[in-house]
Amino acid sequence: MKKYVIGMVTTIALTLSGVAHAQSAPIPGYMIANYTIKDQAGFQKYMDAAGPLAPKYGGKIIVFNLKATAVEGKPKSVMAIAEFPSLADAQRFYNSPEYTAAKRFRIDSTEGSVVITEGFSPPSK
């Protein structure tokens, strides 16, 4: 019986520590871009300038597809998603002097949209 009680207490403690950790984990931020390339040379300038920047702000590119398949609505063909440790990190990246200089190439060479959003955080019970 003593081993059973110790096992149960250990299980509960580990479960609660996991819940506490999950609740304290920061919610990631995302920059989601959906566009059509109008000028390939201008877009290449954007890629050259912006390509190495996300990691400097803790970001990583998790989706980049030049020919994304639309299954609903009328989205553009290019889909790109960068994940950052937090919404603040995504905003800091987007508003940084380096990315501000690079994004003018994207704005001039593409047509579409960019959204910065917080990731999903399930409601706590």
Q: What is the mean pLDDT of each run of 10 residues along the chain (125 residues)?
A: 45 46 78 98 97 96 95 95 98 98 97 97 82
Q: What is the pLDDT of residue 123?
A: 84
Q: What is the pLDDT of residue 121?
A: 87
pTM across the whole model:
0.77
Q: What is the pLDDT of residue 20?
A: 46
Q: What is the pLDDT of residue 13?
A: 45
Q: 48-68 burial, b for 16+ CB within 10 Å, e for fewer?
A: ebbeebbeebbbeeeeeeeee
Give the CATH number of domain 26-118.
3.30.70.100
Q: What is the pLDDT of residue 122?
A: 85
Q: What is the pLDDT of residue 125?
A: 74
Nearest CA to 76 out of 84, 67, 85 is that of 67
